[in-house]
Amino acid sequence: MISIRQLTKHYGSNTVLRGVDLDVAAGEFVVVLGQSGAGKSTLLRCINRLVQADSGTLTVAGMDALTCRDTSALRRQAAMIFQHHNVVPRLSVLKNVLTGRLGAVSTLTSILQLFSREDVALAMQCLERVELAHKARERTDALSGGQMQRVGIARALAQRPKVILADEPVASLDPNTARLVLQYLRDATRELGITVVCNLHQVDYAREFGDRIVGLAHGKLVYDGNAAQMTEADLQRIYPGQPVSAEDAEATAAKPLIRATELRV
Ligand SMILES: Nc1ncnc2c1ncn2[C@@H]1O[C@H](COP(=O)(O)OP(=O)(O)O)[C@@H](O)[C@H]1O
Ligand SMILES: [Mg+2]
């Protein structure tokens, strides 16, 4: 479903991806694990062309993701779920999920916010999958953080994508809520046969939810295997220069890091 060869990406002199090779089979749930700055978000964004890679090859659902002209078709096939769910707070839950259909309807119908009966039925089905159908008419800002992320999942499902790219979807949630949200994501995508690439920096969630884990460090894949095979030495490669036990790695990864560009001094 996804095939990546020798993918590279630079930001100025900063080489962020250094020849990444990765194949993801249809229906697989792959977790990309790595510390902050490893290049996880950049890799995910290259897959649906929110970021243009510099070199290599990348095919997604049969499309050449580096050169195809129709980026909206690519993004319809590869839906994105963000850390901060990116829902529109003042809209109803149902309308937020329906925005997942916007890529599939004409510009005029999207401007007029007209949706077909089928789209509304589909959006309701997607809400049922995350057990939020009863909240459909409520304003989204009345929901909890975990519920908002479930709306984000429903919106991605409403796109009827082949692939879902989830960028640290539970990073701002408490552990119980995070597990619940990951369960909804895994169960819904498994039932629908959707391929998932999910960035996480928590080792224990990766072990629990990933069919397969790939470790990214300094823009290179340093691990590719299942959770049971992952050793302390593998963890040390994924979290270079950091404590090696899973608990320590998680504690370190969970530290909020601020990008230099975000510091206003
Ligand atoms: N838009 C950008 N412009 C410049 N540098 C960027 C940009 N996005 C990411 N980077 C840099 O690329 C590196 C990898 O970032 P990122 O892909 O966000 O890693 P991760 O998601 O693993 O934390 C970091 O050094 C980061 O500062
Ligand atoms: Mg990131």
CA–CA distance, 215 with 51 (Å, rounded to integer): 20
C-alpha of residue 233 to centroid of ligand 2, in Å:
23
* Residues whose CB is less than 8 angstroms from the CB of residue 105 and which lie 6 or more positions away in sequence, other chains included: 114, 115, 116, 119
CA–CA distance, 118 with 161 (Å, rounded to integer): 16
Residue 134: inside a domain: no
Residue 110: inside a domain: no
152: confidence class by pLDDT, cuts 50, 70, 90:
very high
The pLDDT of residue 22 is 97
C-alpha of residue 34 to centroid of ligand 2, in Å:
9
Residue 252: inside a domain: yes
Whether residue 139 is predicted with pLDDT greater than 80 in this model: the reply is: yes
CB atoms near residue 73 (< 10 Å): 13
Would you say the CB of residue 40 lies under 6 angstroms from ligand 1? Answer: yes
Q: Where are the beta strands (DSSP E) in 42-90?
A: 55-60, 63-64, 78-81
C-alpha of residue 202 to centroid of ligand 2, in Å:
12
CB atoms near residue 182 (< 10 Å): 26
Residue 7: inside a domain: yes
Domain encompassing residue 232: 2-87+161-262
Nearest-atom index, ligand 1, CA of 34: 22
99: confidence class by pLDDT, cuts 50, 70, 90:
confident
Residue-wise pLDDT for 209-258, tens only, equals 999 999 999 999 999 999 888 999 999 999 987 655 555 555 545 444 44
Mean pLDDT of 56-75: 93
Residue 103: inside a domain: no
Indicate the number of domains in the chain.
1
Q: Which among 226, 223, 224 has a CA at the least distance from the CA of 210?
A: 226
Number of the ligand closest to the Cα of 167 = 2
C-alpha of residue 178 to centroid of ligand 2, in Å:
17
Residue 139: inside a domain: no
Instruction: Assign residue 36 the CATH number of its domain.
Output: 3.40.50.300
**C-alpha distance from residue 190 to each of 63, 74, 94, 169 (Å):** 22, 21, 23, 17
Would you say the CB of residue 2 lies under 6 angstroms from ligand 1? Answer: no
Q: Which two tokens stand for residue 239?
A: 């979290």
33's enclosing H/E stretch is strand 29-33
The pLDDT of residue 111 is 53
- Residue closest via CA to ligand 1's atom 9 equals 42
Residue-wise pLDDT for 177-201, tens only, equals 999 999 999 999 999 999 999 999 8
Would you say the CB of residue 83 lies under 6 angstroms from ligand 1? Answer: no
DSSP symbols for 106-156 = -HHHHHTT---HHHHHHHHHHHHHTT-GGGTTSBGGGS-HHHHHHHHHHHH
